[in-house]
Amino acid sequence: MEALIHQLLEDSLAVKRAAITAAVADILAATEMLATAIASGHKILIFGNGGSAADAQHLAAEFVNRFEIERRPLPTLALTTDTSVLTSIANDYAFEQIFAKQVQALGNPGDVAWGISTSGNSPNVLAALEAGRHQGLRTLAMVGRGGRLGAEADVVLRVPADVTARIQETHITMGHILCALVDRYLFPGGGTR
């Protein structure tokens, strides 16, 4: 069992190292996209399913509350949290529309639609990115090897792995890097503004 613990840790570190090293330019592009949206009075809409839904909520909390520096709240919504909205859309229309209809209702040109999908093929995440793009939102995707989302978003952060747990671990690390970089971009002095 101890050997398994060490092997899982090494696997996680190797995937994170490979993915983040390959994605430095895309991480910088995502940082600029997010920070520019916020600086110009726009917001971030984040969404995904299962563990990716939890990541969306986690990252929204980091932006709205604070990450590592004291600063003003940054306008971010996780579209995974309102059970009445989610279940009414799924019941009355289709599960594929649970995020797209929220993007249509809440999104404005200049906002960012940020979809998270380990497979890169989640139909509801893809539909939301498409809805966002049609409304003039910028689009960001966090995926595994890519899938359909990898071809649809303005900026894509890929994790070249096949194990869902390793992809999710890398997504949250990438998300925390984005939080840190957006804070430094918007608050170069490290304080509130």
Of residues 108 and 190, more confidently modeled? 108
Q: ∠ CA 47-170-97 to the nearest 5 degrees?
A: 15
Question: If you average pLDDT over residues 167-176, what whole number do you get?
Answer: 98
pLDDT at 25 over 60: yes
Terminal C-alpha separation, the chain: 49
Residue 192's pLDDT band, with cuts at 50, 70 and 90, is low
In this prediction the pTM is 0.95
Cα separation, 115 vs 129, in Å, equals 7
List, in order of start, the domains of the chain with CATH numbers. Answer: 2-186 (3.40.50.10490)
Cα separation, 156 vs 146, in Å, equals 8
Backbone angles phi, psi at 39, to 5 degrees: -65, -25
Looking only at the bridges linking them, the beta strands covering 76-78 and 112-117 are unpaired
Query: What is residue 184's predicted lDDT score, i.e. its pLDDT?
Result: 96
Question: If you average pLDDT over residues 33-46, what whole number do you get?
Answer: 98
Q: What is the DSSP letter of 49?
A: S
pLDDT at 193 over 60: no
